[in-house]
Chains A and B, each alone.
Chain A
Amino acid sequence: MKRTTLDLWVGIFVVAGLGALAVLALKVGNLSTYNMSETYQLQAHFSNIGGLKSQASIKSSGVLVGRVAQISLDPERYEAKVTMTIDKRYKFPKDTFANILTSGLLGEQYIGLIPGGDEAFLKAGDEIKKTQSAVVLEDLISRFLYSKAEDSKQPNK
């Protein structure tokens, strides 16, 4: 069996196809940002998660440190239980604050971690106690309207 021109063309075809796949994975997809090889998990309870989805990013000072692994409703506390996967390179103090924030005005929601000053660090499986829920636009508007109504009542008195 000897090499033929046919083999060359098929080789070019296969290499080009795999190359296209690599381009899709690295240039188009987010495989290049997926370098979280070793991770650990943390949990947090939120009274309202708004539009947070699994695979949403977790950022600290704007840097991506992990992703949301799972969201479920805690049947005892009637609160949303969010499991987070955090990169092993980053450790956070026990009194870290977890906020649900929105990127841009109508962008997707993510969890922002603000480290506290505690000297002990969170271990795998620990829970972040201090959380702040997502800002729901309807709540915000209704609060604004109520306070407006209060304001307009006062001068009449």
Chain B
Amino acid sequence: MIVENLRSLGHRIVSAVWRIGYASRFFMMILFYSGTSFRRFHLTIKELFSSGVMSLIIILVAGTFVGMVLGLQGYETLKRYGAESALGSLVALSLVRELGPVLAALLFASRAGSAMTAEIGLMKATEQISAMEMMAINPLARVVAPRFWAGVISMPLLSALFSAMGVFGGYVVGVVLIGVDEGSFWSQMQAGVDFQHDIVNGMIKSFVFGVAVTAIALFEGYDAPPTAEGVSGATTRTVVESSLTILFLDFILTAFMFQGE
């Protein structure tokens, strides 16, 4: 009984390590074969459309509402200290530093990452990937790498759009609806947000999230068992793993970037 449990535990650990090694090799192979996605850029453009442009609506709407909520909640809290004029810098700083990159990446993982996994998993299940290999076309270069670069390019852009819409939403609620002074809203915001320290660091975050989310989504799709159940399991794992990875990486990056001055 005990021996059997130990054996299954050992088996699980060994296969997990095996999978990590396979995932790392897969990631390096994507980078190695990514020349094609720039030489034949229309492949990447097509993926930019399906992962970037199609995510635009959800990102814009979500960003506006998050900004509006920040405006309302921030106003309620700041009012107690008589610091309503700091609303602008509160909204902008929380969006640019944290909420923009993280929420955009979470939305991207569930909107585009899951689609990537399902697509590649189904391509594998219907033996399209093997067919490509038969025709001496490298599926990593033709299918996987363009999707990877499309995700990496679109993630910072989506995050910037999310933050900008959020600031707009905060402006609508704070200035137009509640009536915080417009001049102090913008001037406090500009005094509080530093270009290098806040905006560039936020962009670096979203770039890292883009790499992580697309790499996980592509690997799960490529590694999925070629059955209906396997593909559905892989899609679920993509969302769970990439969400956890985003939050974990966010903690690590924040600790490096914003440790006290």
Given the known interface contacts A25-B199, A29-B198, A31-B195, the answer about A17 and B190 at a Cβ–Cβ threshold of 8 Å is no
Given the known interface contacts A25-B199, A28-B96, A30-B195, the answer about A13 and B190 at a Cβ–Cβ threshold of 8 Å is no
Given the known interface contacts A1-B42, A10-B49, the answer about A20 and B163 at a Cβ–Cβ threshold of 8 Å is yes
Given the known interface contacts A6-B45, A6-B49, A27-B186, the answer about A13 and B56 at a Cβ–Cβ threshold of 8 Å is yes
Q: Is the CB of B161 within 8 A of A20?
A: yes
Q: Is A114 at the interface (CB under 8 A from chain B)?
A: no
* A12 to B53 alpha-carbon distance, docked (Å): 8
| Chain B interface extent, by class | 20 to 34
Q: Which residue of A lies closest to B165 (CB)?
A: A20
Q: Which of B152-160, B174-182, B244-252 contacts A (4 or more CB under 8 A)?
A: B152-160
Contact of A53 among B45, B52, B167, B261 (CB under 8 A): B261
* A98 to B164 alpha-carbon distance, docked (Å): 39
* A21 to B190 alpha-carbon distance, docked (Å): 15
| Chain A interface extent, by class | 20 to 34
Q: C-beta contact mask, B181-218 vs A, less than 8 Å → 1, else 0?
A: 00000100111011101110001000000000000000
Q: Which residue of B lies closest to A32 (CB)?
A: B190
B residues less than 8 Å from A33 (CB atoms): 190
Query: Which interface residue of A6, A10, A55 has the most chain B CB atoms within 10 A?
Result: A10
A residues less than 8 Å from B96 (CB atoms): 24, 28-29
Q: List 6 A-B contacts (CB under 8 A).
A: A13-B154, A21-B199, A24-B167, A28-B96, A29-B194, A30-B191
Q: Which residues of A approach B to under 8 Å, CB–CB?
A: 1, 6-7, 9-10, 12-14, 16-18, 20-21, 23-25, 27-34, 53-55
